[in-house]
Structure 1
Amino acid sequence: MVHHTIRTSSSRAIKASRKINHMNRRFRIVLGALIVGMLASCTTRQPAPTGPREPPPLTTPGPDTAVLGPPVKKTASRWTPVRWSDLPGFSQDNMSEAWNAWIKSCERPMPTVGRLCNDVRRLSLATADEQRGWMQAHLQPYRVEPLDGSSTEGLLTSYYEPLYQASRLPLSGMNVPLYRPPAGVAPKKPWFTRQQMETLPEARAALAGSELMYLADPVDAMVLQIQGSGRMLVTEPSGAQRLVRLGFAATNEQPYKSIGKWLLDRGEVRDATWPGIKAWIFANPDRTQELLWSNPRVVFFREEPLSELDAQFGPKGAQGVALTPGRSIAVDPGSIPYGAPVWLSTTGPQANLQRLVMAQDTGSAIRGAVRADYFAGWGAEAGEFAGRLKQNLRLWVLWPK
Structure 2
Amino acid sequence: MTVRAAAVGLSLILQTSFATEAAMANPTYQLLQFDELEGWAEDDHQAAFDVFLSTCGDMRDPAWEAICAVAHEGHEARGFFERFFTPVLIEDGKDALFTGYFEPELRGSRTRGGPYQYPLYRLPSGVSSPWLTRREIEETDALSGKGLEIAWIDDPVDVFFLQVQGSGRVALDTGGGIRVGYGGANGHEYSSIGLELVRRGIYESHQVSADVIRNWVRNNGEEGLQLLWANDSFVFFREVNEVPANMGPLGAMNRSVTTMRTVAIDPTYIPYGAPVWIEKQGANPLNRLMVAQDTGSAIRGSQRADIFFGTGDEAGRQAGRVKDGGRMVVLMPIQSAYALLPDVIE
TM-score, normalising length: structure 1: 0.73
Q: Which has the larger radius of gyration?
A: 1
Alignment of 1:190-209 (within 5 A): 190-200=130-140, 203-204=142-143, 208-209=146-147
2:41 to 85, 91, 94: 91
Superposition deviation, residue 363 in structure 1: 0.6
Q: Which residues in structure 2 correspond to 1:2-401 (within 5 Å)?
A: 77-111=27-61, 112-123=63-74, 130-146=76-92, 150=93, 153-186=95-128, 189-200=129-140, 203-204=142-143, 208-235=146-173, 239=174, 241-270=175-204, 271-305=207-241, 310-349=244-283, 351-401=284-334
The CA deviation string for residues 54-84 of structure 1, in whole angstroms up to 9 with x for no partner, is xxxxxxxxxxxxxxxxxxxx97633211111
Letter in 2 for 1:208: K
Residue in 1 aligned with 2:7? none
State the number of aligned residues: 308
1:75 and 1:334 in contact (8 A); partners too: no
Identity of aligned residues (%): 37
AA aligned to 2:100 is S
Q: CA 1:76–1:115 in 2, change beyond 3 Å: closer, same or farther?
A: farther
**Equivalent residue for 2:341?**
none
CA distance in 1, matches of 2:282, 2:162: 26
| RCO comparison, higher one (Cα < 8 Å, 6+) | 2
Name the amino acid aligned to 2:162: L
Shift of 1:251: 0.3
SS in 1 for 2:72: helix
SS of structure 2 residue aligned to 1:178 = strand
Name the SS for the 1:322 alignment partner. Answer: coil
Contact 2:89 2:330 in 1 (8 A): yes
Unaligned runs of 5+ in 2: 1-23, 335-346
- Other structure's SS at 1:122 match: coil
Describe the shift of the 1:266–1:249 C-alpha distance in structure 2 as closer, same or farther (beyond 3 A). Answer: same
SS in 2 for 1:367: coil
Give distance in 2, aligned partners of 1:107 and 1:233: 33
**Contact 1:76-1:368 at 8 Å conserved across structures:** no
| Paired AA for residue 178 in structure 2 | V
For 2:57 and 2:110, the matched residues in 1 are separated by 33
Match of 1:29 in 2: none
In structure 1, the residue matched to 2:3 is none
Task: In structure 2, give the amino acid aligned to 1:251.
Answer: A
For 1:117 and 1:107, the matched residues in 2 are separated by 6
Ranges in structure 1 where 5+ consecutive residues have no aligned partner: 1-73
Segments of 4+ moved more than 4 angstroms: none
Between the aligned partners of 1:196 and 1:253, the Cα distance in structure 2 is: 13
Once residues 173 and 381 of structure 1 are traced to their aligned partners in structure 2, the CA distance between those partners, rounded to angstroms, is: 24
- Which piece of structure 1 moves more, 210-219 or 297-306? 297-306
Query: Measured at CA, do residues 76 and 234 of structure 1 come closer, stay the same or move farther in structure 2, by a change above 3 Å?
Result: farther
Q: Structure 2 vs 1, CA of residues 110 and 389 (structure 1 numbering), >3 Å: closer, same or farther?
A: farther
SS in 1 for 2:178: strand
Distance across 2 between alignment mates of 1:232 and 1:159: 17
Structure 1 counterpart SS, 2:39: coil
Shift of 1:286: 4.1
Tell me which amino acid in the other structure corresponds to 2:230: S
1:243 to partner: Cα distance? 2.2
Separation in 1, partners of 2:45, 2:296 = 26
Is the CA contact 1:107–1:321 (under 8 Å) kept in the aligned structure 2?
no
How far 1:279 sits from its partner (Å)? Answer: 3.5
1:157/1:391 contact within 8 Å kept: yes
SS in 1 for 2:169: strand
Q: How far apart, CA to CA, are the structure 2 residues paired with 1:107 and 1:302?
A: 25
> Cα deviation per residue 1:255-278 (whole Å; 9 max; x = unaligned)?
111111111222212322202222
Tell me the alpha carbon deviations over residues 350-382 of structure 1, each in whole angstroms, 9 at most, x when there is no partner. Answer: x21101111111111111121001111101110
